[in-house]
A and B are shown apart, each in its own frame.
Chain A
Amino acid sequence: MTARAPHNVQAYRRSLRQALDNSFLRQTLDTFAAAYRESRARAFEGIDLEGLIADIARRKAAALPRLEELFDAFKRRAEAAGAVVHTAATAQEANERIAAIAREHGVRKIIKSKSMTAEETFLNAHLEKEGFQVTETDLGEWIIQLRREGPSHMVLPAIHLSRHQVAQLFEKVTGEKQNPDDIEKMVKVARHTLRRAYLEADMGISGANFAVAESGTLGLVTNEGNARLVTTLPRVHVALVGYDKLVPDLETALTILKALPRNATGQIISTYVTWITGATPCAASPTGRKILHIIFLDNGRLTLAKDPVFSQALQCVRCGACANVCPIYRLVGGHNYGHVYIGAIGLILTAFYHGVENARALVMNCLNCQACKAVCPAGIDLPYLIKNAVRHVLDQEKRRPIKNLLLSRVLKDRKLFHFLLRRASLAQKPLAGKEPLIRHLPLFFDKTHGFRSLPVIQAVPFRDRWERARRSVTDPAVRVTLFGGCLIDFVYPEQAEAMLPLLADHRVAVDYPSGQTCCGLPALMAAEKETARDVALQNVRAVDLDRSDWILTLCASCGSHMKENYPKLLGDDPVWGQRVRRFAEKVIDFSSFLQDVLKVSPEDFIPSSQRTAYHAPCHLCRGLKVVDAPRELLKTAGLEYVPAKDEDVCCGFGGSYSLEFPEISAELLKRKLDNVEASGADMLVTDCPGCVLQLRGGADKQGRPFQVCHIAEAVARTYRKKR
């Protein structure tokens, strides 16, 4: 089972389209996503989750530079207790070592408990080729082994299969009729069949969740109890462990254990947590003690551990949550959202463990919606690492796509960039006519891109309207620099214009420096880090920080990029670092500014009966962590807020993502609009012009019965002019 991931985006999109047609998978993953969200929240009740995540991240990060030292300590302790500890530089070496151990001890039959590390090395395929009979004992792993396929989830390997598929499979295995609706009975089939395998096996292979250095102890976490039988009954036990599983002490393991089951399956604890130190008594062994071999797999980990950016990926505890919350995983499942490792972490690790050719197409399939980052118990900035992995793949292949070269060339030169945007406004005229939307794309676009109307680029951008639009405030209470961003400046200037009277009435002095340009997020998304840095500096230079209490933006994507990524890109710069950090601290979104800084009151607004649904932009609710302010602002502004399902799930825009993977983008958009329509809203508001572009374009194209606008426009409409 050494299936290959699609090696180019075209082939990948074909498999994605097939997956989108699999209605069982979609329904299963939808139900799972909803159930997971609830059970996880319940499991973490009463726990300081942020503190726990920070603790785990700190402990794992501190262990990484010490991996070899921790390994030495582990080896010393474990060998003193009767184990034999090996290292394997590559997957092949690990597989060969395990086969050699099996031969040495006259092994024929092997039982295995679930191990992602063994999946990583394609261990079963190797052992079978060598003539050993291998039986997986985790129920899900056994099912997929019988079907000769790989797992589609790191914790629930057979989640892509229906009870009917399992029943058919078990009929073939047992030769007896199975009732697909009697799942309990099918589980008993596995119990009885596998019980024999346990009793007959000569060798058991396990992974490990922890390798505790201070005592040479392996920690295993399972629900079924199969790992206990695998490590107890046969005379030989081989544990295949990634170097990244090394932790200094039991306390660290227990700290991770506090989050692992809660985050993986919403359980407070998994049924069995097993700690094995050394060769325990074993009647089946000729010596009376277990023959225990522990193999530490490198396969790139030790190099990764030294990488300033990617080392973070080794903090992963394999809970699988990054898949559970990923809107793309939810649509296409794990066989299309990973190679061996699945979900966001899989996009990253594939490039390092399974070669860039297997990561090439896969790594592009990220919306940067931040859902994975928000749920990661080890505090890994997964979307940021994915963007860096894109660059890693390009560098390894010595590729630099033309669009990347153009993007960099253009973004670095603001005047050229803005010149081109103005030219684009002229070029689109034949398509748009007098309409504000382009409903039919020119032929050079693939027809799959036609799922939404596109807005026109304005003939007069906000920067050229500014002198006329600005209001003078004689006695300012607050001084604000407005950061437009490309979409506000060149596509939706009316969203910024709408809020100006309200700001002036509240004695807010607004400045719009013309030296500002694109925030640089598109450059980072295209893995052009140098350009992202360059553009960030242009913006930091353009703003007079001494004359700005806040840097206000209507764009959640620009806002979260400036607030979080600017310090990452430039925070350590000896010349600009301090100014960049100060800049980032001042960035604020529209809703928080009105609600928390200006503290607008309901008396400023005329109540409206318009039923208003809200879409929470990824970069606002997770990027800037602004959750309540917009909903409160809607109420303050006299609008009737109606909740909709999955408000904080991505709309599918993701900047250039929607051009790269239009089928996924279209499907996410459709679901979003379905949910809004089901809420009975007359209006959908959001606080990011990118989301407006996607949602309004979709609502127009699909003739949805509600309008879409930016929250600034919605609030401006009910605003009552101050007397």
Chain B
Amino acid sequence: MNTQELAELMTQRAQAVQTVVVRCADWPAAIRYAVEVTAAQGGRTVAPWAIPEDMHRLLVESSAEKGLAVLDPPFHRHGQEIHTALTTADWGIAETGTVVLDSTEEDCRIATMLSETHVVVLPESRLRLSAFETAQAIKAWHHDPPRYVAFISGASRTADIERVLTIGVHGPQQMHLLLLQEAQS
């Protein structure tokens, strides 16, 4: 599969698990999206993790314009007040609509677990068809411990009351996947 086909499959499978998928031409577009989505939901804060340094500056500026605060690590101090987690995924697994995040640093985990909305940026070049194609990279992490690796496919969900699918039980209530096109070249 070429990148285009992988991106299409990823979009379809991620949408099937209620992930909002948006294709972004570049990083600044992704930053704008994260800020807008936070403001639209009435959120007040963004906790960024592993985004490029210049984008962090852009995020601070754009957030200020909308009256949002950009939180600084360590995030455990902000456990109850994180609205949006903005992160970069290491891999995308197209056939299951999954993003893979090396979540070894506690700040990454707290941001992606305690936020209301998780906005994750995935460069399209990091898309693979199946988990098996990421196995070597993941093994390499596992052999360089400690590690906490997360496969995330959609927002937190349960069907424990009368088997009715309900989104947002413990983790984020919304998952937004921003497929970043610039990294193709």
* Residue positions of A touching B, CB distance < 8 A: 28, 31-32, 35, 77, 80-82, 137-140, 143, 156-159, 161-163, 166, 183-184, 186-188, 190-191, 194-195, 199, 212, 214-217, 223-226, 228-229, 231-233, 249-251, 254, 257-258, 265, 267-284, 289-290
Instruction: Decide yes or no whether B42 CB sits under 8 A from chain A.
Output: no
Question: In the complex, which of the residues A162, A199, A223 contacts B162, with contact meaning CB atoms closer than 8 Å?
Answer: A162
Instruction: Decide yes or no whether B69 CB sits under 8 A from chain A.
Output: no
Can you give 30 contacting A-B residue pairs, CB < 8 Å? A28-B163, A77-B145, A81-B146, A143-B160, A158-B161, A161-B161, A183-B161, A183-B164, A183-B166, A191-B169, A199-B80, A215-B139, A223-B157, A224-B157, A224-B169, A224-B171, A226-B169, A228-B170, A232-B148, A233-B110, A251-B132, A257-B131, A268-B13, A270-B153, A272-B171, A275-B138, A275-B147, A275-B148, A283-B76, A290-B146
A187 and B149 CA atoms in complex are apart in Å by 27
By the criterion CB–CB under 8 Å, are B131 and A223 in contact?
Answer: no
For the A-B complex with A272-B156, A281-B105 known, give 13 more contacts whose Cβ atoms are closer than 8 Å: A28-B162, A28-B163, A137-B170, A140-B158, A161-B162, A186-B161, A229-B114, A250-B142, A254-B131, A268-B153, A271-B157, A271-B171, A274-B151
A-facing residues in B137-185 (Cβ within 8 Å): 138-139, 141-143, 145-164, 166, 168-172
By the criterion CB–CB under 8 Å, are A194 and B146 in contact?
Answer: no
A-facing residues in B24-58 (Cβ within 8 Å): none
Question: In the complex, which of the residues B95, B148, B156 contacts A224, with contact meaning CB atoms closer than 8 Å?
Answer: B156
By the criterion CB–CB under 8 Å, are B146 and A156 in contact?
Answer: no
Interface hub of A162, A195, A274 (most chain B Cβ within 10 A) = A274
A-facing residues in B77-116 (Cβ within 8 Å): 79-80, 95-98, 104-106, 109-110, 113-114
A80 and B145 CA atoms in complex are apart in Å by 9
| Nearest CB of B to A77, in Å | 8
Instruction: Decide yes or no whether B17 CB sits under 8 A from chain A.
Output: yes
When distances are taken between beta carbons in the complex, the residues of chain A under 8 Å from B1 are: none
Q: A223-B158, A232-B106 are in contact. Are A274 and B148 (CB under 8 A)?
A: yes
A217 and B98 CA atoms in complex are apart in Å by 20
A167 and B109 CA atoms in complex are apart in Å by 32
By the criterion CB–CB under 8 Å, are B106 and A254 in contact?
Answer: no
A281 and B141 CA atoms in complex are apart in Å by 15
By the criterion CB–CB under 8 Å, are A139 and B150 in contact?
Answer: no
When distances are taken between beta carbons in the complex, the residues of chain B under 8 Å from A274 are: 148-151
When distances are taken between beta carbons in the complex, the residues of chain A under 8 Å from B142 are: 212, 214-215, 217, 250, 275, 277
By the criterion CB–CB under 8 Å, are A187 and B166 in contact?
Answer: yes
| Nearest CB of A to B84, in Å | 16
By the criterion CB–CB under 8 Å, are B148 and A254 in contact?
Answer: no
By the criterion CB–CB under 8 Å, are B155 and A271 in contact?
Answer: yes
Q: A274-B151, A278-B147 are in contact. Are A163 and B161 (CB under 8 A)?
A: yes
Instruction: Decide yes or no whether B74 CB sits under 8 A from chain A.
Output: yes
When distances are taken between beta carbons in the complex, the residues of chain A under 8 Å from B139 are: 214-215, 249-250
By the criterion CB–CB under 8 Å, are B106 and A272 in contact?
Answer: no
B2-23 Cβ-contact flags toward A at 8 Å (1 or 0): 0000000000010011000000
